């Protein structure tokens, strides 16, 4: 299996120098996705090859070798995608990181609730951090699905995931390995505006760490979205201020 590998990052795992591995396959088709080749790749085989702007595609064994070589320098491993909870490679990747003394962060779209529950309940596979993409209001997830009719089911799964993570926070997580959670939303014009931000905020804990990012065109999965104009600085600041008024921990990256 080929995976994306970013050998060293200061941003993919907040507070830690990390490597990042990007696993192929995704159950969404977000038109603004910047990892389209990974998202559309068959889960069992991965992308065909090539080099992106931030990561190169390598056999997963090469990613393992890099982690072993750099384990004394790295503090963590960020696992992204695609959607990592789809990948059969995820458990072994976590075990490899654990055996090397690395903390583990998983980036997810939050729509594979049963898989998340399984990993959280397993001391061997439980991550140290989860970053959940909340892409728009629940009612619009049909616009991101492979088939529009799947939208309600995906929205329901995301809602369940958010509740699980809220419950984790209320319980204080696992005493031996507390779970850090980050929520992320890209300010995509036409998909995320004032109405959607208010609805997303209503789903999050009041104490949420909510990371907002600006939309960047040019490498979108759907080429038509490369023609979209990102929000200007003034509107971006206004939306970020609105989010912060709803969730004090919201911030613009």
Which residues are CB-neighbours of 156 under 8 A, at least 6 positions away? none
DSSP symbol at 112: -
**Distance of alpha carbon 45 from alpha carbon 41, whole angstroms:** 7
Per-residue pLDDT of the chain in tens (253 residues, 90 and over written 9): 999 999 999 999 999 999 999 999 999 999 999 988 889 988 878 887 543 445 689 999 999 999 999 999 999 999 999 999 999 999 999 999 999 999 999 999 999 999 999 999 999 999 999 999 999 999 999 999 999 999 999 999 999 999 999 998 777 655 567 899 999 999 999 999 999 999 999 999 999 999 999 999 999 999 999 999 999 999 999 999 999 999 999 999 8
Specify whether the CB–CB gap between 67 and 100 falls below 8 A: yes
> What's the pLDDT at 178?
85
> What's the pLDDT at 50?
47
Domain limits of the chain?
2-181
Q: What is the largest CA-CA distance in the chain?
A: 48
Specify whether the CB–CB gap between 38 and 4 falls below 8 A: yes
Which stretches of the chain are assigned E, i.e. beta strand? Answer: 2-9, 18-22, 56-59, 76-80, 103-108, 129-133, 180-187, 210-214, 250-252
| The model scores a pTM over 0.85 | yes
User: Which class in CATH covers the domain with range 2-181?
Assistant: alpha beta
> What's the pLDDT at 53?
42
């Amino acid at each position: 299996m080929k995976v994306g590998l970013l050998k060293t990052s200061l941003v993919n795992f907040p507070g830690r120098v990390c490597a990042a591995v990007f696993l192929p396959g995704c159950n969404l088709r977000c038109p603004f996705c910047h990892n389209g080749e990974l998202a559309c790749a068959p889960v069992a085989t991965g992308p065909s090859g090539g080099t992106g702007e931030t990561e190169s595609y390598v056999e997963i064994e090469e990613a393992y070798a890099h982690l072993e070589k750099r384990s004394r320098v790295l503090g963590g491993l960020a696992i992204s995608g695609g959607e990592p909870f789809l990948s059969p490679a995820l458990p072994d990747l976590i075990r490899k990181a654990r055996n090397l003394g690395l903390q583990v962060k998983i980036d997810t779209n939050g729509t594979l609730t049963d898989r998340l529950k399984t990993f959280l309940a397993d001391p061997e596979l439980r991550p140290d951090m989860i970053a959940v993409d909340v892409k728009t209001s629940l009612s619009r997830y049909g616009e991101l699905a492979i088939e529009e009719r799947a939208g309600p089911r995906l929205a329901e799964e995301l809602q369940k995931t958010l509740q699980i993570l809220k419950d984790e926070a209320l319980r204080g997580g696992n005493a031996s390995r507390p779970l850090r959670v980050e929520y992320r939303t890209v300010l995509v014009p036409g998909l995320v505006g004032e109405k959607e931000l208010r609805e997303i905020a209503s789903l999050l804990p009041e104490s949420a760490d909510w990371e907002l990012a600006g939309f960047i065109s040019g490498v979108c999965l759907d080429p038509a979205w490369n023609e979209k104009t990102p929000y200007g600085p003034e509107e971006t600041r206004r939306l970020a201020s609105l989010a912060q008024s709803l969730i004090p921990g919201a911030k613009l990256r």
